[in-house]
Structures are given as structure tokens and as C-alpha cells.
């Protein structure tokens, strides 16, 4: 995967062309459903296609943050956009659980991941009883 540089003087960033994320990710993630694996697959694929996957998952050995040569303002705009995409593809119950002031897309992504990984462990324990 190529390293995405954020530079406002370069060409238009593809993520900025997305007017309605629900046209690309039609699954609504909720606390009580088993759509998490499908939602993750659709979301990460879309993030790859729009060159913002690094806002959710770091490249090998790299932290998720703008490098000195990146345009910090554009990076922050894109991160806020990815965060809004997350918020727009979850139901209200889950949204109340994951929204935090001044959060990054990566932090929110990990909160969701932790919720569903904890739920998988709980379900496994229930089935063994």
C-alpha cells in the first residue's frame, strides 16, 4: 500500500468527494447484531478506496498522525470526515456509546472494536454454559 501524503497543493483528495457515506456503506451497525464483520469489511474497503485507511489502522510501524511534510489542516479535516462516516453508519444506541468529545477516528474505531470483541467473548461464554 502506498503512503498517502496530505498536501493541500496536490490534487483533490478522493475522500472529500463523498457526500453520503450511506450510499457506500449500507449496513447499519448496532449493539445487538452480528453485522460487525461485514461493517468492518465494507468500511475498511471504502477507507482504502478513498485513501484514508491510515486514519483507522496504522501502516506497518507507523503511528496514525500527520508527518511533518503532511498538511496538518487537511489531515484533521479528513480525520473528522472519517469519524463522521463512522457515526453515520451506526445506530443511535451504539452512537451514544462511542461518541466522545475531541475523539479521533482511530480512537472511535478502537472503541467499536473493543465493544464487539468483548461481546464475542461474552457470547462464547454463554454458549458454553
Q: Are 36 and 29 in contact (CB under 8 A)?
A: yes
For residue 127, give the 3-state DSSP assignment.
helix
Furthest-apart CA atoms within the chain: distance in Å:
60
Residue 84 lies in a domain: yes
Residue 78 lies in a domain: yes
CA-to-CA distance for 55 and 46, rounded, in angstroms? 12
Q: What is the total count of domains within the chain?
A: 1
> Which residues touch 77 (CB under 8 Å, ≥6 apart)?
16
Residue 97 lies in a domain: yes
Residue 45 lies in a domain: yes
DSSP string of 75-117?
HHHHHHHHHHHHHHTB-HHHHHHH--TT--HHHHHHHHHHHHH
Residue 3 lies in a domain: no
Domain of 77, in residue numbers = 14-128
Residue 2 lies in a domain: no
In tens digits, what is the pLDDT along the chain, a chain of 129 residues?
344 555 555 567 888 888 898 889 999 999 977 899 999 999 999 999 999 999 999 776 555 666 655 688 889 999 999 999 999 999 999 999 999 999 999 999 999 999 998 765 444 444 444
Residue 95 lies in a domain: yes
CA-to-CA distance for 103 and 80, rounded, in angstroms? 9
Nearest by Cα to 10 from 78, 61, 65, 85: 78
Amino acid at each position: 500500500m502506498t503512503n498517502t501524503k496530505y498536501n493541500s497543493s496536490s490534487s483533490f483528495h478522493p475522500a472529500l468527494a463523498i457526500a453520503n457515506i450511506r450510499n457506500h456503506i449500507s449496513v447499519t451497525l448496532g449493539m445487538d447484531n452480528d453485522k460487525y464483520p461485514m461493517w468492518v469489511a465494507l468500511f475498511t474497503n471504502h477507507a482504502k478506496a478513498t485513501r484514508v485507511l491510515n486514519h483507522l489502522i496504522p501502516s506497518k510501524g507507523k503511528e496514525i498522525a500527520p508527518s511533518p511534510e503532511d498538511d496538518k489542516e487537511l489531515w484533521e479535516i479528513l480525520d473528522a470526515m472519517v469519524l463522521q462516516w463512522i457515526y453515520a453508519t451506526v445506530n443511535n444506541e451504539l452512537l451514544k456509546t462511542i461518541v466522545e468529545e475531541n475523539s479521533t477516528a482511530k480512537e472511535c474505531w478502537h472503541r467499536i472494536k473493543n465493544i464487539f470483541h468483548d461481546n464475542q467473548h461474552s457470547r462464547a461464554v454463554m454458549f458454553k454454559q
